[in-house]
Structure 1
Amino acid sequence: MVAKDFKVDLNKALVFQVGHLGEAYHEWVHQPIVGKDSPRFFENNILEFLTKNVWWAIPTIWIPVVCWSINLSFHMGQSHSEISTLVLAGMLAWTLIEYTLHRFVFHIKTESYWANTVHYLLHGCHHKHPMDGLRLVFPPAATAILCFPFWGFVKLLAGPCATPALFGGGLLGYVIYDCTHYYLHHGQPSSSPLAKHLKRYHLNHHFRTQTMGFGITSSLWDAVFGTLPKRTVDSKTC
C-alpha cells in the first residue's frame, strides 16, 4: 500500500523508499538536487559499493576489448578499408541505440512500487542527483552482460568476419558516450564550440525540458525524430 503523502527521507538509503511515491515518483525524480555528494542507495555496504563506479574504468576496461574485436576481423581477412567502414557503422548504430534507450527506456513513466524502484536504479537517480560523479557511467559488470545479446544481434546482421569489427565499433561508440556524458556534467569546455554546445544541450535536458534532447554524443536523432529542444540553458548551470 502506497502512503498517500509519503515523503522520501534523503538521509536514509533511497532505493527501497522511492517506490512508495507511486504516481508522485515521476514529478519527484525530475526535481534535481544539484550537489556533488553521492546519496546512499542501500543499507547493505556490498550493494552500495556495487552501485558506484569511476569514469576512467570505462575506457580502461573496454578499449582493449574494442581493439581485440577489430583485430579479430583483420585476422579473419577483412581489409583496412572494410574494417574502417564497419567500425564507423557500429559507432553510428550506437548513437541510435543511445537515443532509443534514453528516450523509450530510461524515460518511461512508472507508477508501481517495483517499476519506480527499477527506474530509479536505471536512470531516475541520475536525474535526481545529476552531479553524482560515482553514478554517471554504466557499471562494467552490467555492460559485460549486455555485450552477449548485442554480439548475437550483430552476428545476425553481418557475416562472421565482419561481426567483430562492427561489434567493436558499437562498443567504441558506447565508450565515447559514457566518457562524453561524464564530461558534460563535470567538465568545463572553454574553447571547443562542439563541447560547449553538447554541454548546453544536455543541461537543457536535465534542467529545462526533460522530455526533449535525448542525444548525448549528438543531436542527430533528436533532429530526425522531432525531439530537438527549442531553448538551451547556460553551460555554467552545473
Structure 2
Amino acid sequence: MQLLKGYRLGMWSKSHNLSKMTFRELVVAYFQYYAIQAYLLLTVASLYVAWAYPTTLLRGAASAAIAIAAYPLAWFLLHRYVLHSRWMFKSPLTARTWKRIHYDHHQDPNHLEVLFGALYTTLPTIAIVTIPVGYAIGGIGGAAWGFAAGLLTTCFYEFCHCIQHLSYKPRSPWLVEMKTRHMEHHFHDEDGNFGITSFVWDKLFGTYYQRGERPEKSETVFNLGYTTEAAAKWPWVANMSGGVAEGHPRQRMKKAA
C-alpha cells in the first residue's frame, strides 16, 4: 500500500471525476496512469521480441490484424457474461475481483480510477486472446506481434471509455453514437449495449437498444443486481463497500456532501 501511495504522483496524487475534467486534463491523467504505462512498456518489449524472433511481414500483420479483429467479440463476451454475471459476487473467492473490475464502476461511472481495468485481469485476458493465435501463425514473432496489437488496442479502448464518461460533446457521429449507447448502458438499462467502440456484436446477439425501445429504466442499473437482499445472502461485496449504495450516483454524492 505504501508503494502504491508513493507511486501516485502528478495528477494521480488525488482522485478524479470525469464529469469535472477537461479533455486536456484527461489526456495528462491517462498517460500518467500506471496501467496505461504498463501496456505501453509491454508493447515495446513485445516489439523487441518480434524483432529478436522475426517472422514474415505477412504473418506478423496477420497476427496483429486477428488480435484487433477479435477484440470487440472478446470484450462483448467478457462484459456480458463475466462482468455482468451474478455468480461472481456469490463467492468470497471472486467477490473482491468483481467489485474492483465492474461493480465499483457502475456504482460511480465517472470515477476515473475504477474505470480502468485491473492489470491482474486485463493482461492474462489479452495474452489468452492474442498469443496462441499469433504463435500458430508466426511462431514466437507472430505471438509477439499479436500481443503488441492487443495491448495497443486495449489502450485505445480505455481512452474511448474515458471519453464516453467525460463531460465532453464529441463532434464525430461515430463518437456520439458510441457515447450515447454507453451512457444508456450505465444510466438506463445495463442489460444491453455491452460494446465500447463497436456495437456489431450487440446487434448480432440481440442486446443492442436505443433508449426509446426500453421505456422502463432498470432498477439494477447501478448495482448490477447486488441488492440489499442479495447482500444479506452474499455479504462479501457489501462488507468491502461499507454497505450497499442505492440510487443515482449524483444524488448519493449530494447527500454525502
TM-score, normalised relative to structure 1:
0.65
Gaps of at least 5 residues in structure 1 are: 1-34, 38-53
Once the two structures are superposed, residues 32-66 of structure 1 have per-residue CA deviations (whole angstroms, 9 ceiling, x without a partner) of: xxx939xxxxxxxxxxxxxxxx6332432212322
Q: Is the 8 A contact 1:215 1:222 kept in 2?
A: yes
Aligned AA (2:191): T
Aligned residues: 184
Rate the CA distance shift 1:100–1:145 in 2: closer, same or farther, 3 A. closer
Note if contact 1:74-1:83 (Cα within 8 Å) is conserved in structure 2: no
Q: How far did 1:95 drift?
A: 1.7
Does residue 1:89 correspond to 2:70, yes or no? no
The match for 1:229 among 194, 209, 223 is: 209
- 1:168 matched to 2:148? The reply is yes
Q: Is the 8 Å Cα contact of residues 105 and 111 (structure 2) preserved in structure 1?
A: yes
In structure 2, stretches of 5+ residues that fail to align are: 1-15, 19-28, 215-249, 251-257
Instruction: Specify the alignment match of 1:112 in structure 2.
Output: 90
Which amino acid is 1:133 matched to? L
- One of 1, 17, 24 as aligned partner of 1:36: 17
Q: Does the alignment pair 1:55 with 2:24?
A: no
CA contact (8 A) 2:64 2:134 kept: no
1:189 and 1:81 mapped to 2: Cα distance?
A: 39
Task: Please give the secondary structure, in 1, of the residue aligned with 2:30.
Answer: coil
* 1:79 paired residue number: 56
The structural deviation recorded for 1:231 is 2.8
2:183 pairs with 1:206: no
Q: Identity of counterpart residues, as a percentage?
A: 22
Asked if the contact 1:95/1:218 (under 8 Å) is kept, the reply is yes
Residue of structure 1 equivalent to 2:165: 185
Q: How far has the Cα of 1:84 moved from its partner?
A: 2.7
Which stretch of the first structure deviates more once superposed, 139-148 or 201-210? 139-148
What is the aligned partner in structure 2 of residue 138 from structure 1? 117
Rate the CA distance shift 1:94–1:118 in 2: closer, same or farther, 3 A.
same
Deviations 1:65-103 (A, max 9, x none): 224324533443333343233212111112211111100
Q: Does the CA contact (< 8 Å) of 1:91 and 1:171 recur in 2?
A: no
| CA 112–83 in structure 1, closer or farther in 2 if over 3 Å, else same | closer
Q: TM-score, normalised by structure 2?
A: 0.60
How far apart are the structure 2 equivalents of 1:119 and 1:64?
27
* Equivalent residues of 1:91, 1:172 under 8 A apart: no
Which structure has the highest helix share of the two?
Answer: 2
1:189, distance to aligned residue in structure 2 (A): 3.5
Q: For residues 106-151 of structure 1, give each alpha carbon's deviation from its aligned partner in whole angstroms, at most 9, with x where no partner exists.
A: 0002463636554322311111111111111023355445566556
Residue type of the alignment partner of 1:55: Y
| Structure 2 residue 104 is the aligned partner of structure 1 residue 129 | no
Report the Cα distance in structure 2 between the residues aligned to 1:221 and 1:70, rounded to whole angstroms.
Answer: 30
Give the alignment's Cα RMSD to 1 decimal.
3.1
Tell me the SS of whatever aligns to 1:169.
helix
